[in-house]
Chains A and B, each alone.
Chain A
Amino acid sequence: MPRALFTGFVFLSVCSALAAEPFRAAEFDQKVLPMVERYCLGCHDAATAEGDFDLESFLTPAAMLANRKPWEKVLKQLKAGAMPPDGKKRPAVAERESAIAWLERALVHVDPSKPVPPGRVTARRLNRTEYNYTIRDLFGVSLKLADEFAGDDVGYGFDNIGDVLSISPLRMEQYLNAAEQLTAILLGKTDAPPYDEFSEGVFFQFNKKPRNPSDRGWEVVPEGQLWLDFELPVPGEYEIKLYAWGVEKPEEKDRSNNERWLEKDYPLDPKARPVVEATLLCDDQLIGHVPVQPGNGTTASRQIYTLRFTAQAGVHTIRVHHRFPREFTAEQIAAHLEKPLLAPRLGVRRVALRGPLQFGAAKLAPAHEALLKTRPASGLSESAAAGNILRAIGDRAFRRPLKADELRDLLRFVETRRSAGDDFERAVELAVQTMLVSPKFLFRLDNVELPPGKDDIAPLGDYALASRLSYFLTASMPDDTLLDLAAKGTLHEPQTLAAQVERLLADPRGAAFTEAFFGQWLGLRKVPEVTMDRGTFKTFSTELKDDLRRETTMFVESIVRENRPALELLTADYSFLNGRLAAFYGIAGVDRKAEFQRVSLQGTPRQGVLTHGSLLMLTSYPNRTSPTRRGAWILETILGEEPPPPPPNVPELEQTRAAAPNLSLREQLVQHRVNPTCISCHRTMDAIGFGLENFDGIGKWRDADQGRPIDASGDLPGGKAFKSPQELIGILARRDEDFVRHLSSKLLTFALGRGVEYYDRVALDEIVRQTKPDGFRFRDLVREVAISRPFRFTQTQNSDSKP
C-alpha cells in the first residue's frame, strides 16, 4: 500500500478555523455519503454491523445531526487514519480530508434558528470529597466520615458526574451509619471522646536540633521549639498530655537515654524541684506553662503534665517550647544562653491529645449550636424547639430554605418518635438523621426548583446556582454569602457570579477546586500510586514521588492564585522546587536543604508541566519510558485528541524486542509499527513521546540511554519538525486556542458534572473569545465557565429527551 495514503493523525484541528463558514447540511450527500458507501458500509451496514457499529441507520444529514455520537467515532477513526483497516480499500487523501473537514463542522453544528440548548445535568450524588466538606461546613466539624464509603464512580475523567455516580444498598447503610456517628458526636454522647491520638516527641518538627534522641524521646535545648499538626475533628475542650522530663545539667551523648540503660528504672521523686519548663501552644494561642521535674526517657512515661485548651475543628499546630524555670533571673538566663548546650533541657517523650471532653466555650456552627442547645423551656414549646433545630439544620443541609410541608412532616416524625418512647433529644436526633440520608441532602437536585412551565429552557434557580458554583469551586455546600445572594435573587447576574468566583477561589476552601480539577485532569491524584522499578531507577523513592507531586501541585496553585495565562501550564519558565528536587533536576543555586520555593528554569531544558517529573513518571512504564504513552497522554490530556484504542491482536512491543534485542527503543518502536493501521496513530503519538526522550522514566534529564545518545527529534504531520523537548513544546504552544478550548471543555465538564455535548461548542467559543484579549488567564476561564449559558441555564423536563 502506498505510503502517501497514511498521512497520519491529523494534527491540525480545522474546526476553529472554519467555524465561520456557513454550514450546509445538504453537502453531506457529496462530502460524506459517497465515501461512506464505498469504504465503510461493506462492514458497517445494518446487517453486518462489524464491531457492533452500524452506520447505515444514520445516512441522512438529519439522522447524522440527531445521532452525532456514531459520527464522532467515524471522525475519530478517519482523523487517525485507522479505518478502513489495513488490507481494505481506502479513500484517497483528498477525499478523506474533505470528509474530515466537513464532519468537524457538521458535528458541532448548532441550529442558529433555535436557542442553543444549555443541556441538563442529571441529579448528582455528593461524592466522598463533597460529602466530607459539606458535613464540615454544615456542622463545623472535620470528621471525614465519607472516607469509609466505597469509591466514587468516574465519568469523563471526573468523579462528580451525575450520570455515573450511583448509590447502592451498602452505601445507604454507610449513610445511615455516618449520620448516626455524626449526631452522636454533635450531641457529645459517644462512649469515648471521638479524638484520642498521640505522637512521639521524635516525630515533631523542630527549629533547633534536639539532643540525645532515642526511642524514648529527645531533649530540647534553650530557645528550642517542637511542633506538629493535629487534626481535631470537633470544636470543644481538649486535654493535652505532655510526657516530659527535665535535665538540669546535660551531657552530650547522655547514656541514660539509650536502650540498655533504660532497662533499669529511674526512681522519681515527686517532691523534686522542677529544673525546666515547657510552654504549650495551639497554633499561636498559649495553652499554658508547665514546670517539669528531672527524669529521663523512661520516667517520662509517668511524668505526665496535663492541660486543657479549647479549639475549633480542623488542623492545628501543637507547639512545645523550651522555657527556663520561672524563678530564673534575666542574668541567669543570659548566662545560660551563653553556653546553651550546658543549660537545662526539656526532654519530650510524647504528646497526647484527647477530646472534646466538653464543648465548653468553643464556638459552634449555627446548626451544631441549635442541635446541642435548643431545648423546650418555658415560652418555648417542644414543637417550637424542635422546629428551630430542624430549620437551623435543614435550611443549610438542603441548601435552600426548608419548605413548610417538609418542616411539618419532620415535626410529625418527631412526635411519632416521642410517642414511641424516645425522649426529646433522641427524637430530634433521629429527625436530623432522616435529613442526612434524604435525597435532598445526598443529591443535588438542580431542576426541582424550576417553575412548571412550557418553556424548554429555563434559568437555573438561584439556590441551585449557589450550589453549582459552590461545589464547582469548593467541593462543598454554599456558604452564608452565597445563600444570602440566592435569597435576594441576584446571584445569577454575571457580575455577581464573577465576583463570587474571585471570592471563592481566594478562600482557603477554594483549594478543593485545584486539588480535584488538576488532580483528575492531569492525573496528579494517581501519582502516589505509581511504582517504579528501583533497580532501574536508583534515585526513585517515595520521598522523590511526594516532592514531584508537590512541585506540580504548587505550580498549578500558582497558576490559579496569580491568574496566570493558561498556556504557562505548558511554557512556564519557572517551577516550585525544594533543595532535593533542584539537585535531582540538576538545577544549581538552590540550597540542598531549602524548602519549596519558586525557582527560575531559564537556561534549563525544563518548562511547564510536560517536563515535570510527576507527569513524566506517570506516563512511563516501571522500568523504562514509553514514548507512546507520553504521546497519547499529551494528545488526550493537553489537546483533547484522544487516539482511538489500538486494534485487537497487535503484537506487543516486547515481542518486537525479543525478535531484535539490539535495537534502540526508537528503532524497536519503528519496527513495531510496520503495520500500516498502527502507524497512523503511532506516528504522531511516538513522535511527540520521542520529543521527551531526554527525560527518563522518573523525569531525570539524560543525554544517552544504555549508551546510545538520545535522539529527541521528530516531525509531526504537517511538516512540523523539532529537535528537542523545547521545540516540541513550542509547537504545542502554538496551538494555544486548541489547548485553551480543550482546557475549557474540561473545566465545563467538571463544573457541570456532565459530558460536553456538541451544542456546548457555542459556550466554549464564547469562553475562548472572552478570554483571548487578556491572554487566556486561568481565573478568567473559570469565571467565563461560571457565567456561561450551560452553567446558568437548564433544559426543563419538557425537553427531557436527550438533545
Chain B
Amino acid sequence: MNPNLAFSTRRHFLRGVGITLSLPWLESMGGILHAADAEKEPRRLLLVCLPLGIFRDALIPKQTGIGYEATEYLSALQDFRDQFTVISGLEHPGVGGGHASQPRIFTGLPSAERNRRSLDQHVAAVLGQHTRFDTLTLSAGANDFSWTDSGSMVPAEKNVGDAFAKLFAEEGATNKTKVLREIGRGKSILDFVLDEASDLRPRLSKRDQDKLEEYFESVRATEKRLVKSEEWMHTPKPQVGVKAPAPFAPDEIITNMRNVCDLTYLAFKTDSTRVITFGYFRQDTVAVPGVKVGYHNLSHHGQDEGNIAQLKRVERAFFDELKTLLTNLKNAKEGDSNLLARTTIVVTSNLGSGSSHSNKDLPVLLAGGRFQHGQHLALAPGAVPLSNLYLSVLHQLGMDDKSFGASTGTLKGLELA
C-alpha cells in the first residue's frame, strides 16, 4: 500500500504558475486583453504523432495534386479540404529501429546521434515569450516527443485534468505575497546550487562536464521559469467557464483525445501557450465500439482484414476528434482572422507502416497556418527529409533558421499562401 501524500506543498506553483485574480473569462476574452494583441499576428504550432502508424490506404490518396479523391480519413475532414495538405514520401534519414524512432519524430536527428531539440521546444524559445507557458506537452497516451536542446525529454502532462488545472484553475485565496516569497526562496536555493556546484567543473572530465552542464542548464531554466512566474503572478489566469474534464478509464482513448483537443483549443484561444505537442496511443485494449484487440496488436495487422477494420475504427476516431478541433479553431475569431489560420498543425507518425515497423515513407497531414493547402503532395519515397517540412514550418512561423534536424532545405512544392 502506498503512502497517500495528501498534503499541500508550497512550491506547487512551480507547475501551476500562479494564482488567479478571477476576471470573468468573457470580459478578458471579449476585450482581447491577452498577449495576442501584443503582436499583430500571433502564430502557433501544434504537433501530433500517432506512434503506431496511420493505416496508409485510409489516409494517403491514390492521386496526387489538387484533384485527389478523398480517402476514408480525409473525407472526415472534407469541410477543411482547402485548409490542409496531405504529404507522402517524407522520412527521417538515418532514423530506424521501429518504435525506437518515436522520440525522433519531431527532432529528425539520425538514430546514431543523441536525440535533442524537438521542433516544439525549439520554436517555444521564441513563440513562448508572450505566454504564460512556453509550451504544453499533453498526452493522449504517448508522450516522448519533446526534447530540450541538451537532449532531455520533456515529459508530458499525462493527466489532462492536471493540465486543465495548471492552465485555468484558481488556487483559492492563496496569499500572493506568500507565493512570491516562496518564489524568492526557490530562486535563492537555485542560485546557491549553481554557485556552490561550480567548484566541481574543473575537476571533471569532458563527459562528466557535459552531464553537469545538462544539470546547470536545467537549474537555469527552472530559475528562468521562476522569474517568469513571478511576472505572471500579476496577470490573472484566464477563466474559461468550462468544467475541468471528468476522470475517465485508461482505455477510453476517444475521451482522452477529445479532452486533449478541447484543452488545446482552450489553451490557444486564451493564449496560454502557442506551442502544443501530443501523441495518440495506447498499448492495450481501447474502448472504441467494435474493437476487441489491443491497439498495438492491431497495428501489426498483417494485412488481416478483420484487424484492419478494427484498426481503422481506432484511427477514424482520431480523425473525427481532429475534425472537431479544426472546427473549433476555425470558428474562433482572432482579429480579422481565425485561430486555424494562425495555427500550423502537423499530424504524422514515426512509422510508415505499423505492420512492418517501417520508418520510411511517413504519413503527414499539414493543416492550418499560412500555406497554400488543398493538395496531396506526393514525393518520391526516400528522397526528401521530413525535416525539410519542419524548416518550412519554422519559416512560416517567422523564424529564420538555416536548417533543422536533417533538413537539406525547405520543402519544395509547399508554398506560402
Contact = CB atoms under 8 A, between A and B. Distances in A.
B204 A192 contact: no
B197 interface: yes
A374 interface: no
Contact of B7 (A194, A529, A655): A194
B215 A167 contact: yes
* Size bin of chain A's contact surface: 35 or more
Interface stretch (B10-18, B34-42, B50-58, B392-400): B10-18
Nearest to A125: B211
A446 to B, nearest CB: 9
B193 A166 contact: no
A171 B152 contact: yes
B364 to A, nearest CB: 20
B11 to A, nearest CB: 5
A445 interface: yes
Interface string B175-208: 0000000001110111011011101100111111
Interface stretch (A25-33, A572-580, A645-653): A645-653
B236 interface: no
Contact of B225 (A52, A143, A169): A169
A195 interface: yes
Contact of B152 (A167, A197, A233, A655): A167
Interface in A114-172: 120, 122-123, 125, 142-144, 147, 150-151, 153, 162-163, 166-172
Contacts of B300: 654
Contacts of B284: 531
Nearest to B182: A180
Given A173-B222, A434-B196, A230 B293 contact: no
* Size bin of chain B's contact surface: 35 or more
Contacts of A231: 1-3
Interface stretch (A218-226, A435-443, A463-471, A489-497): A435-443
Given A406-B196, A797-B205, A194 B189 contact: no
Given A430-B188, A648-B360, A652-B302, A448 B196 contact: no
A150 B155 contact: yes
Contacts of A420: 184, 188
A191 interface: yes
B303 to A, nearest CB: 6
Contacts of B197: 438-440
A143 B1 contact: no
A192 B7 CA distance: 6
A422 B30 CA distance: 43
Contacts of B297: 533, 621-623
Most buried by A among B4, B94, B96, B218: B218
B222 A176 contact: yes
Contacts of B211: 122-123, 125, 162, 167, 443
B193 A180 contact: no
A177 interface: yes
Interface string A171-199: 11100110011001100001110111101
Contacts of A450: 203
Given A142-B3, A169-B225, A417 B148 contact: no
B14 A199 contact: no
A531 to B, nearest CB: 5
A232 interface: yes
A171 B214 CA distance: 11
A172 B219 CA distance: 7
Contacts of A417: 185, 188
Interface in A413-444: 413, 416-417, 420, 422, 430, 433-434, 437-440, 442-443
A406 B29 CA distance: 52
A447 B205 contact: yes
Interface string B315-358: 00000000000000000000000000000000000000001101
B276 to A, nearest CB: 16
Given A123-B212, A162-B211, A658 B192 contact: no
A192 B203 contact: no
A800 B206 contact: yes
Interface in B250-308: 283-285, 293-294, 297, 300-304
Interface string A218-245: 0000000000011111000000000000
A448 B203 contact: yes
A445 B200 contact: yes
A172 B221 contact: yes
Contact of B204 (A144, A448, A645, A655): A448
A37 interface: no
Given A162-B211, A168-B154, A233-B3, 13 more contacts: A52-B112, A123-B207, A168-B218, A172-B221, A176-B14, A184-B10, A197-B3, A410-B196, A417-B188, A437-B190, A443-B215, A447-B208, A652-B355
19 contacts: A123-B204, A123-B207, A147-B2, A150-B155, A162-B211, A168-B218, A173-B222, A173-B225, A180-B9, A184-B7, A184-B10, A194-B3, A194-B7, A417-B185, A434-B189, A439-B200, A452-B203, A623-B297, A652-B302
Give the 10 A-B residue pairs with the shortest CB-CB distance, closest first. Answer: A654-B302, A168-B152, A169-B221, A190-B7, A233-B3, A150-B155, A172-B218, A166-B152, A123-B208, A123-B211
Interface of B: 1-12, 14-15, 94, 96-97, 110, 112, 148, 150-155, 184-186, 188-190, 192-193, 195-197, 199-200, 203-208, 211-212, 214-215, 217-219, 221-222, 225, 283-285, 293-294, 297, 300-304, 355-356, 358, 360
